Amino acid sequence: MHSITEVPSSDDGTDTPAPGSPVLTAVAPPHARDAILLRRRQLKMARSAHAYVRGSTERFYDWISSSSARLLPEGPPVWICGDCHVGNLGPIGHPAGKAVVELRDLDQTVIGNPAHDVVRLALSLAMAARSSDLPGVTTSRITEDLVAGYERAFEGDAPSEKIDDLPSPIRVVMKRAVGRTWGRLFEDRLGSKRPRMHIGRRFWRLDDAEREEIERFVRREDTRALVSKLESRHEDAEVAFRDAAFWVKGCSSLGLWRAAVLVEITDRTRKRHKRTSYSLLDLKQAVEAAAPWAEGANPGLSPARRVLTGARKLAPALGQRMTTIEMLGRSIFVRELLPQDLKVELDRVDADDVRAVASYLGMVVGRAHGRQLDSAARRDWHREMTTHRTKNLDAPSWLWQSLVQLVAVHELAYLEHCRTYALDADRASEAVRVTRGAARPSRAIPSRR
């Protein structure tokens, strides 16, 4: 048995906040957004230990920079995800109409140590197992399976771009991704199958300056070229601005500027015939990465260009659907959303499924790293990964020791986070339940005689 939750590739922010949390107003002015979104992020991270791990990239790299991480090997410098947790892998729509499983969130990407991605993915899988009440021995086996999958991607002189034998949970989500339509995309993202935005909890109004900059961006030729890339669209298609709004979504991105932009595409393939369709663009602010650069490897790119470059190296299907822009003093990367874009969350999985997913995702990450290396570097890194084993664990000892420390660090930090940010909201929620219970009229229970 398995349970794996299919969700859109980025949270839409429509879930109901706990009582006591700040109200998300539909007309929040730009200067008032940050405090509201920060509070919302803190509450989302308090939902579970796994949610806390996903939203606390900085804490992970605090540990990486400490003396505790001295056991980690120094792998060959490659573009890494930087935030390699389970939710940041999943089906990605390809401009040619296909779907592939790749890294799908590259906000933290840098040229760095590939061991950091392996350790962070191991931590994410371990916390997912703990959230599913799986025994500690399962975590040990997950670590072995993750490494086995990662190592398979380095066998041979060149990385294989084909990964067969999808584990059951991934196969289910891939099947849904391939069958998704544009109507389903708009329903998930906009709340309606019709391409229109509704100002409310999900979308906030932009100010005049933000809206004008976005309209100017849509009129650019490189924007038109980006949107017309899809196989079903003509390369000379016309692209016009239709609507835009500030987008309340995600967890770690809450507090950064983000906008959803609806555009209309008109294909004039025949003299008297035209076809109109719509597309949704995701504009997201990029900031400096928490992940450390390999020594001497920082090329000095703007934050958005860093994300774009890393995406083209690690997830080509995603990278070729992206561009960048500087807007109102912010470094912004842009991608067109496709119906096939999904992320998956492990939810109440059994031991067999989580082990199969660990092996598969390890191979996906290994493929992304390996395609950047020549044959000699691939062999050297593969040799490093296959050494330092113990008699009772078929995984590098440095990975297991790091994982044990990180689980302890994040469990403690999670409990402190809940005490600091979620306790008042929980008390308010309890007070509401008590008040509602007291207000409910009592019902007489007839006696049996």
Distance between CA 41 and CA 35 in Å, rounded? 10
Given a cut of 90, is residue 345 above it in pLDDT?
no
Taking only the tens place, the pLDDT of each residue in 294-319 is 999 999 999 999 999 999 999 999 99
Average pLDDT on 143-170 reads 81
Q: In this predicted model, which residue has the larger pLDDT, 441 or 357?
A: 357
Given a cut of 80, is residue 174 above it in pLDDT?
yes
Average pLDDT on 151-162 reads 76
Kindly list the distances between the CA atom of residue 125 and the CA atoms of 97, 144, 384, 421, in Å, as whole numbers in the listed order.
Answer: 30, 12, 22, 25
So what's the pLDDT on residue 119? Answer: 97
Taking only the tens place, the pLDDT of each residue in 236-260 is 889 999 999 999 887 767 778 999 9
Distance between CA 187 and CA 179 in Å, rounded? 15
Element (H or E) spanning 148, and its range?
helix 136-152
Q: In this predicted model, which residue has the larger pLDDT, 191 or 286?
A: 286
Given a cut of 50, is residue 9 above it in pLDDT?
no
Distance between CA 246 and CA 206 in Å, rounded? 6
Average pLDDT value for the chain: 85
- Read off the pLDDT band of 440 (50, 70, 90): low
Q: In this predicted model, which residue has the larger pLDDT, 348 or 108?
A: 108
Comparing CA positions, the residue from 189, 195, 228 lying closest to residue 323 is: 228
The reported pTM is: 0.86
